[in-house]
Amino acid sequence: MLNMLMNLKDYEVGGFYDEMFTPEGEARPQASALLHRVDSLPEGELQTRQQAAESALLHSGVTFSVYGEAAGTEKIFPFDIIPRILSAEEWATVEHGLKQRITALNLFIDDVYHDQRIIQDGVVPKEIVYSSKAYRQQCIGFNPPRGIWCHITGTDLVRHSDGQMYVLEDNLRCPSGVSYVLENRRIMQSLFPQVFGAQRIRSVRQYTSKLRDVLEYLVPDSVRNPHAALLTPGIFNSAYFEHSFLAQQMGIELVEGRDLIVHDDTVFVRTTRGFERVDVIYRRIDDDFIDPEVFRPDSLLGVPGLMRAYQRGRVALVNAPGTGVADDKVIYAYVPRIIKYYLDEDPVIPNVPTYICSEPEGLQYTLEHIEELVVKAANEAGGYGMLVGPHATKEQHAEFREKVKANPRNYIAQPTLSLSRVPTLIGDELEGRHVDLRPYILYGKDIFVLPGGLTRVALRKGSLVVNSSQGGGSKDTWVLADNAASVTGNQ
């Protein structure tokens, strides 16, 4: 098959799991329609379309800013026009696994702030929960609206060379990136209309409507016209584009802390016609910064009194404060046991094997094998505070050994996975590059998994780091519809 494809005749699968080709070099069934379309393009056409995509993203303002560079430096999140494609059967498993995981994690969060049965039954050690930076004493005993803590989750999945998908980490605080999913798709549809016409690719466009439904679901029924707002740290935040995009697409107000005021334990937004009550806030500000009266007193981003209003049930916050305890990277290691404990089921999508440095065996193994492991700080995100053993220098190994020894609770280690690859346009050639996948899960009246997600790609040859802050890019993710599911339906 590879021989039939002229543009792809030099493509090397290269001993990795390739999302589009079998090890023998044959196109996987879900990829063959696209590959033939790509192959039928005249020489140079793929590059032309790649440039068209980049300029469309730039002009649409689909940008992010990188911390540490000059203020106002905006870049597009590099985009590659070759998508990642998932078959209907495989997606069904992913969807099932994510729903299972989120259900269990929500029960876990609720439990650790109430009866703590899971601690009493000895499944998760008390000190692990209590030492998590994101465990909030202020939330003990609190019942969030409709019993939901983690309304929006972006779970990172990776496929190893064994072909199996693993959960790499759970992002339950303020997962970002969904705006790229929606914008990437819009651009792909205009670049490859024939492929979208010929194949049943499931839509992602319903996301913002679903998200709005989640927000409104949290408002008591007695409120006739719920007033929702998206709280952003402001224009200097790296994800500001996403904040403004989501607010605009949902038709809700985009506000900063200074636009909100708490009076009589009720939240109001300043408008040109005076103050108006706010019922639900999708906050894109971490717990630490949302209310200087309760959390960091030096925060200028938040709203004094917001937690008081929240705890009196006057306003809903999405995600609930305190949710971050479940995306602590040490707690992560316990998630398979958490799923078993609450649901009495085995995890559908397994965890990556994880060494917990606060356990003596885990610590010893990590220190001895640091050259081959990925070491992660428990409360960091975005690829910061992380060591990729095989790609690091001896000095970096030594430095991390010291860091881990000094604070074992703060670290976990995992084997370096051989992430799967997808053909990616590098210069004039298609070359394999490593990818991960972040699907988005919404928890409202029911749990909805957006069919697709953000495929992040490490654009540097051989690199495994897909984070946008460190040379990563993104691809559109296509989930094919089987005959039973409609393209736009939610199954």
Binding site for another protein (CB under 8 A): 58-61, 263-264, 268, 270, 272, 274-277
CB of 249 to another protein, least distance (A): 12
**CB contact burial 18-55 (16+ within 10 A = b; e otherwise):** bbbbeeebebeebbebbbeebeeeeeeebeebbeebbe
Tokens of 240: 């500001």
CB of 142 to another protein, least distance (A): 26
Per-residue CA distances from 209 to 100, 248, 252, 294, 385 (Å): 23, 12, 11, 32, 36
C-alpha dihedral (389, 391, 395, 397), degrees to nearest 10: 0
Q: From the DSSP assignment, how many helices (H) and strands (E) are in the chain?
A: 14, 22
DSSP 434-451: EEEEE-EEEESSSEEE-S
CA distance 283 to 240: 12
CB of 80 to another protein, least distance (A): 22
CB of 260 to another protein, least distance (A): 12
CB of 425 to another protein, least distance (A): 24
Nearer to another protein, 275 or 365 (CB): 275
CB of 262 to another protein, least distance (A): 10
Q: Is the peptide bond before 319 cis (omega within 30 degrees of 0)?
A: yes
Nearer to another protein, 276 or 346 (CB): 276
Nearer to another protein, 59 or 394 (CB): 59
CB of 275 to another protein, least distance (A): 5
Report yes or no: 455 and 423 within 8 Å, Cβ to Cβ.
no
Nearer to another protein, 76 or 94 (CB): 76
Nearer to another protein, 273 or 394 (CB): 273
Nearer to another protein, 36 or 277 (CB): 277
217's CB contacts (< 8 A; 6+ apart) are 146, 444, 445
* Residue among 442, 443, 388, 391 at smallest CA distance from 415: 388
Pairing of strands 316-318, 280-283: parallel
Amino acid at site 344: D
- Burial category of 388 from C-beta neighbours within 10 Å (exposed 0-12, middle 13-18, buried 19 and up): middle
Question: What single-letter DSSP state applies at residue 320?
Answer: P
Nearer to another protein, 95 or 242 (CB): 242
Across-strand partners of 270?
Answer: 275
CA distance 318 to 213: 12
CA distance 424 to 401: 36
Nearer to another protein, 62 or 480 (CB): 62
CB of 73 to another protein, least distance (A): 11
Nearer to another protein, 47 or 60 (CB): 60
Output phi, psi for 310, to 5 deg.
-65, -45
* Residue among 267, 252, 346, 348 at smallest CA distance from 243: 252
CB of 64 to another protein, least distance (A): 14
Per-residue CA distances from 394 to 145, 239, 367, 376, 464 (Å): 50, 35, 13, 17, 19
What is the length of the chain? Answer: 491
Nearer to another protein, 137 or 272 (CB): 272
CA distance 474 to 471: 10
CB of 253 to another protein, least distance (A): 12
CB of 33 to another protein, least distance (A): 31
Nearer to another protein, 276 or 368 (CB): 276
